[in-house]
A = this chain, B = another copy of it.
Amino acid sequence: MRNFVLEGNLCYSITPKELKTLRGYVVCKNGICAGTFEEIPEEYQSFEVYDYSDMLIIPGMVDLHIHAPQYAFRGMGMDYELIEWLNTQTFPEEAKYADAEYAKKAYAIFAENMRKSATTRACIFGTIHREATEILMDLMEESGLVSYVGKVNMDRLAPESLLEQSADMSAFSTFGWINDIRGRYQYTRPILTPRFIPSCTDELMEQLREVQRTYQLPVQSHLSENQGEIEWVKQLRPDAAFYGDGYDKYDLFGDRNLDQEKVRTVMAHCVWSTDDEVRRIKDNGVFIAHCPASNMNLSSGIAPIRKYLDLDMKVGLGSDVAGGQTESIFRAITDAIQVSKMYWRHVDEKAKPVTFEEAFYMATKGGGEFFGKVGSFEDGYEFDALVLDDSALKSPNDLNIRQRIERAIYLSLDLNGIVAKYAAGRKIC
């Protein structure tokens, strides 16, 4: 069980600069990748071989930032900036998840489409609603993806219908949620999710520190997305040296000793992070979820990803639905490259564009690290794989694997070319 071999045209990242391609076999042993081979080694000869003939096989995509409740209005109402968009699009929709029946209907669509997508791993925001979040987790478990799902915490500065009544109530609800789901899932894990600094009082942050310490939960939130938001944070939290320090003061921002298991943290955006903030992100081993589509759609700006890559920081990609219009991480790969080119041309001529190799790395091994050894076909990685049939993309020329992978991603082959998907050693689609 969970021992098998896939045969086809393989492509995966070794480093941000090196994309390995070969025609051959990738071996899954007990759900873990045992490496890639041109011929099946003796020891795996008894494993069943799935022959995907001339198809492409790559690691599953990792989405470090997506909002499940916003999936209902993806691709709509895109002519707004962040704060206006929150108030007119996002908050009214999220309020609906107080109704479990609505949550079931909406999250079923989300989970089914995530199953069919190129994504095998995701960090997911729910809403403040405990019941709805548990429904979401049930559905994500069924989907087969491996995911972190967060019940959101918010106790200020949102419509009444989306506020938890107090910091205590928010923490209480979070404890209840964590206890409820304990032992319920194999592939779906809780993650602490303060929405962002403006939504959380100091008292709530204090409580969340306790929740985090008690359960050793990882943390996800938003950071330095929009200039107006940053000004707002300055006013709300004059004690914080910079936006991210507002999390770090409550030990919700990675760990200085880089003890990953202590407070594994992913922050979405980091478009406008100051030098001090960048240093802290790096020093604390915080993951950055780069969400280029969202940053374009909400006119937030372009994150300086070249800088983060050169500093050897932990960067993955996020779809940020519904700031981003689609759950496609293929799209996030090309968006990341494209915005980096605009950044180079219009903002900083020293910041060389992100290469295809680098963007592919971020989408797989870079973001995958948040989940452990995930995102590559190297020996010892959890076995996540995507099989793509690109035969509908015709060419008059013979193409090599590298060319075909680049084309498949630029042409959104995830919309109609996914033949099979494996997550943590199981075929889920």
Partner of A74, one of B113, B338, B407: B407
Q: List A residues 250-295 near B (Cβ within 8 Å).
A: 293
Asked whether A338 lies within 8 Å of B79 as measured between CB atoms, the reply is no
User: What is the bound-complex CA distance between A349 and B254, given in angstroms?
Assistant: 35
- Chain B residue contacts of A105, Cβ below 8 A: 396
Contact of A149 with B by CB under 8 A: no
- Chain B residue contacts of A293, Cβ below 8 A: 338
| Closest beta carbon of chain B to A225's beta carbon, Å | 12
Partner of A346, one of B338, B341, B347, B397: B347
Asked whether A326 lies within 8 Å of B396 as measured between CB atoms, the reply is no
| Closest beta carbon of chain B to A189's beta carbon, Å | 25
- Chain B residue contacts of A415, Cβ below 8 A: 412, 415-416
Which residue of B has the minimal Cβ distance to A355? B79
Residue from the set A356, A395, A396, A410 with the largest chain B CB neighbour count within 10 Å: A396
- Chain B residue contacts of A86, Cβ below 8 A: none
Which residue of B has the minimal Cβ distance to A356? B79
- Chain B residue contacts of A120, Cβ below 8 A: none
Asked whether A102 lies within 8 Å of B356 as measured between CB atoms, the reply is no
Asked whether A296 lies within 8 Å of B342 as measured between CB atoms, the reply is yes
Asked whether A299 lies within 8 Å of B394 as measured between CB atoms, the reply is no
Asked whether B76 lies within 8 Å of A403 as measured between CB atoms, the reply is yes
A375-410 vs B, Cβ < 8 Å mask (1 yes, 0 no): 000000000000000000011110100010011111
Asked whether B297 lies within 8 Å of A109 as measured between CB atoms, the reply is no
User: What is the bound-complex CA distance between A342 and B407, given in angstroms?
Assistant: 25
Residue from the set A302, A337, A344, A412 with the largest chain B CB neighbour count within 10 Å: A412
Asked whether A339 lies within 8 Å of B341 as measured between CB atoms, the reply is no
- Chain B residue contacts of A410, Cβ below 8 A: 74-76, 78, 325-326
Contact of A117 with B by CB under 8 A: no
Contact of A106 with B by CB under 8 A: yes
Contacts A342-B296, A345-B300, A347-B346 known; A76 to B407 CB distance under 8 Å?
yes
Contact of A411 with B by CB under 8 A: yes
Which residue of B has the minimal Cβ distance to A399? B76
A188-222 vs B, Cβ < 8 Å mask (1 yes, 0 no): 00000000000000000000000000000000000
| Closest beta carbon of chain B to A110's beta carbon, Å | 9
Contacts A338-B297, A394-B109 known; A411 to B79 CB distance under 8 Å?
no
Contact of A49 with B by CB under 8 A: no
- Chain B residue contacts of A316, Cβ below 8 A: none
Contacts A300-B345, A301-B346, A346-B301 known; A337 to B78 CB distance under 8 Å?
yes
Q: List A residues 300-347 near B (Cβ within 8 Å).
A: 300-302, 325-326, 334, 337-339, 341-347
Asked whether A341 lies within 8 Å of B299 as measured between CB atoms, the reply is yes
Contact of A353 with B by CB under 8 A: yes
Contact of A72 with B by CB under 8 A: yes
Which residue of B has the minimal Cβ distance to A301? B345
Provide 23 A-B residue pairs closer than 8 Å at the C-beta atoms, listed in order of the A residue: A72-B396, A75-B411, A76-B399, A76-B403, A76-B407, A77-B406, A79-B356, A102-B396, A109-B394, A109-B395, A296-B339, A296-B341, A296-B342, A297-B338, A298-B341, A299-B345, A299-B353, A300-B345, A301-B342, A342-B346, A343-B346, A412-B412, A415-B415
* Given A73-B395, A296-B338, A297-B338, 9 further pairs, Cβ under 8 A: A75-B408, A76-B403, A76-B407, A109-B395, A113-B394, A299-B344, A302-B342, A326-B411, A412-B412
